[in-house]
Structure 1
Amino acid sequence: MTQIDLPTPDQTALLGAQIRDGGTSFGLWAPRATRVELALVDEDRTQHNHDLELGPDGVWSGHVPDIGAEQRYGFRVHGDWAPEDGRRFNPAKLLLDPYARAITGGVDYNGPISDHTAESDFTPDPTDSFQAVPLSVVVEDSPPPDPIAERRSLGDSVIYETHVKGYTQQHPQVPEHLRGTFAGLGYSAVTDHLVGLGVTAVELLPIQHFVSEPFLIGRGLSNYWGYNTLGFFAPHASYCSVGTMGSQVREFKEMVTALHRAGLEVILDVVYNHTGEGGHEGPTLCFRGIDHAGYYRLTHDQRNDYDVTGCGNSTDTSNPGVQRMIMDSLRYWVTEMGVDGFRFDLATTLIRDGHHDVRQDHPLKAAIAEDPVLADIKIIAEPWDVGPYGYQVGGFGNGWSEWNDRFRGFVRDYWRGNIGGVQELSTRLAGSPDIFDHDERPADSSINFVTAHDGFTLRDLVSYDVKHNKANGESNRDGTDDNRSWNCGFEGETDDPGINALRHRQAKNLMATTILATGVPMITAADEIGRTQGGNNNAYCQDGPISWVNWDTADGWHDLYELTQTMLKLRHDHPVLRRERFRHGEQVTGLDGEPTGRKDLAWFGGYPHDHLVELGTEEWQDGSRRTLGMFLTDDRPDREAEDALLIWFHSGDDPADVQLPGGRWGDSYTVLAHTGTEDELPNDPVPGDGILTIPGRTVVVLSVR
């Protein structure tokens, strides 16, 4: 493609709006514009325009006296209309400030929001958009939230992925006027539930200000998940309980303070890979009008968007202004808004160069690694996009953890019985060393999950074989068909007690496997209380009961809640489950410094003919095997006592008699937790070399003496 040489914003350049010196200073990076007007907008949409001055770094700036907090504003950016050169300047379109810290108002999708005419994407539309677009708001500085008392390592964390609105919209203990808001998420009944469950961090689906896609509005739907960002510095306005003229900033900070005081860290799901403007045929609300080629990846002819996100556009992180914006945004959310980490949506897009090639040595990635503000911040990648070589799982290196879709896929397959043995199960349980154990990466590089916002909920994973997305308005064509789910014998809800008991058991097995595996467990909000979306596996456009948490399910799924709580307590109480380094089956020395004959990781089949030795080649290659024992020993030099666990995973339908390893491995074994019913496993210790009967489809955690 043709490279466009753009100046880098000076590090001292003020971007956005900042109250100072008896007024407000404004700055906008628009290096190819010929004129930029600051439009100060009154409540009745009357405008007063001020010309800004261009600096050598491409930043237009100016100071306006007597302007303060809650002032609405936008920009009108002038320049050539030359789509063949990536320039679509059209001053008739009132544009948001990319650095706006608050945004008010919505989009009139029937209004003149496109920079082009209805007849042609390449002919400018002279109609003023001022009545149809949202506005930026000047926000005064305020103190950051209370910091968390102690920021945990990622390896000691349990992540809970949730949606700000949907989590509390129907919460019976949250005051009605706070439901669905930042204040609602910070309410004591919510934090009490999270802390009582045992999670340590909430990962919030996008809360940076977003808009809906026009095609969704045309169907009477909206973008619920929020992966359609329009303001990378602004909390989403509709998540505020009291107003949109800057109150959303204060309320977000108060929410962070409440979560921090409860001991919960805050991780943001951030969408820097594309914006809510879509392709060039879509609305022009901000970035495209400032500089189409400056902010977005374009095809070789410079006329069309080069889309590696599947969302119509892709931000061009090879350009210095975009890199600066992303870094400024990350620092802002850490220093001013108090967050503790980020999950980067479609992170591969962010490390593509000017030729759209993936580069793990990308300057943006280097800047994140080198920035002292981000030094102890959790950095998590969704390590793929839809472009060439976009699948980069395992490639992000030290300093990054990554969503592990290989874990999700195999664990689902294992518990539905669609496997050829247990060899890959052992790999996933050990932290996926085949993917992450290189270049001295830690074991917490793997974010382990079986469900996320995208796909079936845990309850639906054991209740539906196929998706049921008709409510999305695409004739059930949207959403993946690769669900790897099993309905346990009936599609959808049923009164059959046997099927429902099996579903509860399978849900507990999936949850337990996620929590007990080496790596970082991620739980999808309300999976622990049986949340259902009625089989919808792509509920991104469902801002309603399909997506909102129905807290009435908690009583019927209390067994799953208790199992989740128990397994998380085990994870907290046993450092052997939270090891930072990968295990390689190394010999363990005792507290006296002498070899014990045990290993830090060993695998047992448990069948009577192979109980005395670890699994060998023949057992590993047995495609019919459904039972695996994972022996873990705490080998920390500073340990006060040796902590060892033997965890059995049995996905077969029938019970399995397993002979527990004796001798140097253990004198006796005691059941700490399991996914079966109360009376299915013994309460008394079982001696080494003794037989333990594991019920069909069960996880059993044993302490080792």
Structure 2
Amino acid sequence: MLMVHPHPELQFSHVLPYGAILHERGVRFVVFSRSATAMRLLLYKNVDDREPSEIIDFDRETDRWGDIWSIFIPGLSEGQLYHFQAEGPYNPDEGMLFDGRARLIDPYAKALAGTFQSAEDGIIRPPKCVVVDESFNWEGDRHLKRDLSESIIYEMHVKGFTADESSGVDNPGTYRGVVEKIPYLKSLGVTAVELMPIHEFPMMDMMTGKTPTRGNYWGYDSMAFFAPHRGYAASKKPGGQVREFKEMVKALHQAGIEVILDVVYNHTCEGNEKGPILSFKGLENQVYYMLANGGREYKNYSGCGNTVNGNHPIVREMIFNSLRHWVHNYHVDGFRFDLASILSRDRSGNLVANPPLVEAIAEDPMLADTKIIAEAWDAAGAYQVGSFANLRWAEWNGRYRDDIRSFWKGEPHKLGALATRLAGSSDLYQAGGRQPYHSINFITSHDGFPMNDLTSYNHKHNEANGEGNRDGDNHNLSYNYGVEGPTKRTSIEKLRRQQIKNMFCTLLMSQGVPMILMGDEVRRTQHGNNNAYCQDNEISWLDWSLVKKNDEMRRFVRALIAFRRDQPTVRQKHFLGGYPTGRRGLFDVNWYNNLGTAVDWDSGDSMLTCLFAAPTKDNDSENFGRDVLLLMNGSASPQQFILPPVAKGTSWRMFVDTAATSPSDVYPDLNGPRPPAAGKFVMPERSVRIYVASR
């Protein structure tokens, strides 16, 4: 049989039905607008040009098909710069905001170039759209398709990862900078990076074209859903970010690391009724946004001024095309949906069961290979953790974060919550037919304190944000152990290190999918700022000198990650229910108090012993795993622990002792000391021990 091997550049891709479509003889421009009375194409020669070099009118008779405006311009090629301009009714009381002077970003623009230019004449001049050639030699690259249950996610900011001078990379703060640091990510052992928003967002003030007092560092302010952010490209060539992003994805895949994008389909940077007209407002405001009071105002379920009308058929199609574009033209492996509960709201803003958009994302055949993760709440009070959607959707488990923080802070009556979270949060996910891997477990994320600050500050310190320390959450469940901020007191510093190790142990030994925040493994600090959305500086950037300074912590975390990857015992695919294993009276999960007897869940104690029995089989693998014995003293005083009788017939070796000094805090080869022959020992305050059974 003749086998045909396609050229690597001809792998499957998703051709967008709208936007600037590159042909051999020119470019076709396609845009949706139902209410426009006229449409124009503005062409530019240079990025810095304030005025177009050519203005081309669409012909209403020949260039409009239904609500689609489509025109072919011969002779144009890759790199052409353009805007749209739409005429139509301006009636804010009815939600109509057409402005024939406005230069509009193409909603389907594949790249933007330049920045906002000063608008002293009242005309906002946004970055220009770029005609892009999507061809790229992927060299056979495909999605890695790692099982979600085996994933270890690293949430990171593309710029902040390497922007600091200490990173030592040739291209700091860029996609190429990430590529240069892939050996670090690989050595850490994470299986996926979750990139904070890389869709285009504003970098400069829209009216002055200058750097704003409080910039948008995080990027949760989308301006173009199909375009990688130009600010993270090393190249300044228009469209250069497209190639660099693809190169980064390919390099990460070659290292065995998946790429998950944090996407913001819930609002845009156009703001409320006082905001600028940049794109969607000027093309079909009533379709793209949820409007209130007859169209005069914007519903604001996002907390950012407007709400994208995601369950309108036109907008739903745009979101699908955006997702498919990133999956098939950029090979990304999955998405984390910011404020995903907004996607569950109908066109009137009401939460509905089985919302069309959410259900369709899960069922879309072109997204079948991807991971889809919901931030299952929004800014208007919706909280759907555990009940967001169907079996395809995983969720950021906010309950996990709060319960684990509370336990290690020392709050009483948290044993039941701790056990439930360790075992995979069956209270949240089992009733809906889901499994432990639908819970994305995290203790810290970009939003809030990093791990170091969680153990160093009782209160937020957001003065640098310029909002009088009023912004940011006041409910941090943090504890400073006697001194607010950095200290030279050895006892406090030791306890802080110990608590960070305790939380890492809990996170990486819990059933479910762990997510680690960038730099937590080396104690990155934000100096008490728990809302660093506007801090594009050392407050947010990773200080790479910490890698050497806190190598002890990095070694500890690396060992935990390696153990998790090797041991199916701590990443089981089904909920543990206290079912017998047929071995020595051992159940799949076994709970005891510190004295090795039954737990009194209402006692208010903070000591717990957990024995995870190795699964009888790891699906298709021959790795049956090992029994894992986890002992946790969350109290503020030393406590005696006695091994439960069911554990005494097993040959145990120490893996972790968070109270010990390095290198005795972790034994990566699982060859640590055996427990005392009598099975009795005293565990220092706020400490964890992990023993692992011989094979």
Give the TM-score taking structure 1 as reference length: 0.90
Letter in 1 for 2:366: V
Deviations 1:556-614 (A, max 9, x none): 32221111111111101111111111111111135xxxxx421111111131xxx2x44
Flag the 1:403–1:671 CA change in 2: closer, same or farther, 3 A.
same
Shift of residue 143, structure 1, vs aligned partner: 2.3
Partner of 1:627: 608
Partner of 1:455: 448
Partner of 2:355: 362
Shift of residue 439, structure 1, vs aligned partner: 2.7
- Structure 1 residue 582 corresponds to structure 2 residue 575: yes
- The whole-number CA distance in structure 2 between the counterparts of 1:35 and 1:673 is 69
Shift of residue 215, structure 1, vs aligned partner: 10
* Aligned pair partner of 1:101 in 110, 115, 124: 110
Flag the 1:665–1:497 CA change in 2: closer, same or farther, 3 A.
closer
* Aligned pair partner of 1:164 in 146, 150, 158: 158
Partner of 2:56: 50
* C-alpha contact (below 8 Å) 2:359/2:389 kept by paired residues: no
Shift of residue 205, structure 1, vs aligned partner: 0.5
* C-alpha contact (below 8 Å) 1:144/1:336 kept by paired residues: no
Partner of 1:20: 23
- The whole-number CA distance in structure 2 between the counterparts of 1:173 and 1:165 is 11
Shift of residue 223, structure 1, vs aligned partner: 0.3
Shift of residue 13, structure 1, vs aligned partner: 8.2
Shift of residue 105, structure 1, vs aligned partner: 1.6
Partner of 2:196: 205
- The whole-number CA distance in structure 2 between the counterparts of 1:680 and 1:51 is 71
- The whole-number CA distance in structure 1 between the counterparts of 2:156 and 2:647 is 45
Shift of residue 389, structure 1, vs aligned partner: 3.3
- The whole-number CA distance in structure 2 between the counterparts of 1:357 and 1:434 is 26
* Aligned pair partner of 2:472 in 467, 470, 479: 479
- The whole-number CA distance in structure 1 between the counterparts of 2:55 and 2:206 is 33
Shift of residue 365, structure 1, vs aligned partner: 1.6
Q: Which moved more, 1:286-295 or 1:657-666?
A: 657-666
Letter in 2 for 1:37: R
Partner of 1:3: none
- The whole-number CA distance in structure 1 between the counterparts of 2:405 and 2:238 is 46
1:185-334 paired onto structure 2 within 5 Å:
185-187=178-180, 190-212=181-203, 220-334=213-327
Shift of residue 419, structure 1, vs aligned partner: 2.6
Partner of 1:702: 691
- The whole-number CA distance in structure 2 between the counterparts of 1:218 and 1:240 is 18
Partner of 2:628: 645
Shift of residue 685, structure 1, vs aligned partner: 2.2
* C-alpha contact (below 8 Å) 2:198/2:261 kept by paired residues: yes
- The whole-number CA distance in structure 2 between the counterparts of 1:597 and 1:267 is 42
* C-alpha contact (below 8 Å) 1:39/1:76 kept by paired residues: yes
* C-alpha contact (below 8 Å) 2:556/2:665 kept by paired residues: no
Flag the 1:94–1:423 CA change in 2: closer, same or farther, 3 A.
same
1:77-92 paired onto structure 2 within 5 Å:
77-92=86-101
Partner of 1:38: 41
Flag the 1:374–1:576 CA change in 2: closer, same or farther, 3 A.
same
Letter in 1 for 2:500: A
Q: Which moved more, 1:479-488 or 1:674-683?
A: 674-683
Partner SS state of residue 260, structure 2? strand
Shift of residue 667, structure 1, vs aligned partner: 2.6
Flag the 1:659–1:390 CA change in 2: closer, same or farther, 3 A.
closer
Partner of 1:667: 650
Unaligned residue ranges in structure 1 (runs of 5+)? 1-10, 113-126, 591-595
Partner SS state of residue 540, structure 1? coil
Flag the 1:658–1:339 CA change in 2: closer, same or farther, 3 A.
same
Flag the 1:287–1:583 CA change in 2: closer, same or farther, 3 A.
same
Shift of residue 360, structure 1, vs aligned partner: 3.9
Letter in 1 for 2:588: D
Shift of residue 625, structure 1, vs aligned partner: 3.5
- The whole-number CA distance in structure 2 between the counterparts of 1:510 and 1:215 is 43
Q: Which moved more, 1:263-272 or 1:509-518?
A: 509-518
Letter in 2 for 1:397: N
1:333-344 paired onto structure 2 within 5 Å:
333-344=326-337
Shift of residue 651, structure 1, vs aligned partner: 1.1
* C-alpha contact (below 8 Å) 1:670/1:703 kept by paired residues: yes
Partner of 1:152: 146
Flag the 1:637–1:152 CA change in 2: closer, same or farther, 3 A.
closer
* Aligned pair partner of 1:507 in 496, 500, 508: 500
* Aligned pair partner of 2:586 in 598, 612, 615: 598
- The whole-number CA distance in structure 2 between the counterparts of 1:224 and 1:373 is 32
* C-alpha contact (below 8 Å) 1:145/1:256 kept by paired residues: no
- The whole-number CA distance in structure 2 between the counterparts of 1:454 and 1:273 is 17
- The whole-number CA distance in structure 2 between the counterparts of 1:571 and 1:413 is 24
Unaligned residue ranges in structure 2 (runs of 5+)? 1-13
Q: Percent sequence identity over matched residues?
A: 38
Flag the 1:699–1:79 CA change in 2: closer, same or farther, 3 A.
same
Partner SS state of residue 297, structure 2? coil
Partner of 1:347: 340
* C-alpha contact (below 8 Å) 2:115/2:203 kept by paired residues: no
1:545-556 paired onto structure 2 within 5 Å:
545-556=538-549
Deviations 1:652-691 (A, max 9, x none): 2222221112347743322112322246899432378621
Partner SS state of residue 326, structure 1? helix
* Aligned pair partner of 2:522 in 515, 523, 529: 529
* C-alpha contact (below 8 Å) 1:203/1:266 kept by paired residues: yes
Flag the 1:353–1:272 CA change in 2: closer, same or farther, 3 A.
same
Flag the 1:320–1:245 CA change in 2: closer, same or farther, 3 A.
same
Partner SS state of residue 434, structure 1? helix
- The whole-number CA distance in structure 2 between the counterparts of 1:353 and 1:93 is 30
Q: Which moved more, 1:485-494 or 1:51-60?
A: 51-60
Partner SS state of residue 603, structure 1? strand
Flag the 1:109–1:621 CA change in 2: closer, same or farther, 3 A.
farther
- The whole-number CA distance in structure 2 between the counterparts of 1:422 and 1:463 is 24
- Structure 1 residue 494 corresponds to structure 2 residue 482: no
Deviations 1:387-444 (A, max 9, x none): 2535454322310110111111111111110232411110111111111112321211
* C-alpha contact (below 8 Å) 2:153/2:192 kept by paired residues: yes
- The whole-number CA distance in structure 2 between the counterparts of 1:12 and 1:150 is 22
* Aligned pair partner of 1:69 in 48, 59, 78: 78
- The whole-number CA distance in structure 1 between the counterparts of 2:421 and 2:578 is 15
Deviations 1:465-492 (A, max 9, x none): 1011111010111111111100111001
- The whole-number CA distance in structure 1 between the counterparts of 2:559 and 2:93 is 61
1:354-503 paired onto structure 2 within 5 Å:
354-503=347-496
Partner SS state of residue 549, structure 2? coil
Shift of residue 694, structure 1, vs aligned partner: 2.1
Partner of 2:10: none
Deviations 1:611-658 (A, max 9, x none): 2x443xxx1110133334343332337656562111112112222221
Partner SS state of residue 533, structure 2? helix
Flag the 1:563–1:308 CA change in 2: closer, same or farther, 3 A.
same
Letter in 2 for 1:400: W
- The whole-number CA distance in structure 1 between the counterparts of 2:677 and 2:335 is 45
Give the TM-score taking structure 2 as reference length: 0.91
Partner SS state of residue 629, structure 1? strand
Partner SS state of residue 699, structure 1? strand
- The whole-number CA distance in structure 1 between the counterparts of 2:635 and 2:200 is 47
Deviations 1:117-170 (A, max 9, x none): xxxxxxxxxx544xx321101001212645357421111000000000111012
